[in-house]
Amino acid sequence: MSNKKIRLSKDDLSRLIEMAWEDKTPFEAILNSYDVDESELMKLMQANLKPSSYRLWRKRVKERSSKHLKLRSPEINRAYCITQYKINR
């Protein structure tokens, strides 16, 4: 992992955390949207979640093949449902 300093607005940080919790949003989508790779995301989540929430998130992510495009079913061809979000409505 690089030692780059990640600077996000409060809204971007909130959205990044939301995307990280979503089962269908792959790490690659987060990388494309925010230039934050999986290891950087883990550090961000650890810094911004309660320890118990971080452990729950890590356990959940490890069990989800949909978080990695290479392990993802070919039937899943998008990262999220367009009606699910507050933005772009």
Task: Report the 10 Å Cβ neighbour count for 44.
Answer: 19
> How high is the mean pLDDT of the chain?
81
Q: Is residue 80 part of a domain?
A: no
Q: Is residue 86 part of a domain?
A: no
Asked whether 29 and 22 are in contact (CB, 8 A), the reply is: no
At 63, the pLDDT band (50, 70, 90 cuts) reads: confident
Containing structural domain, residue 19: 10-71
State if pTM tops 0.85: no
Q: Is residue 63 part of a domain?
A: yes
At 81, the pLDDT band (50, 70, 90 cuts) reads: low
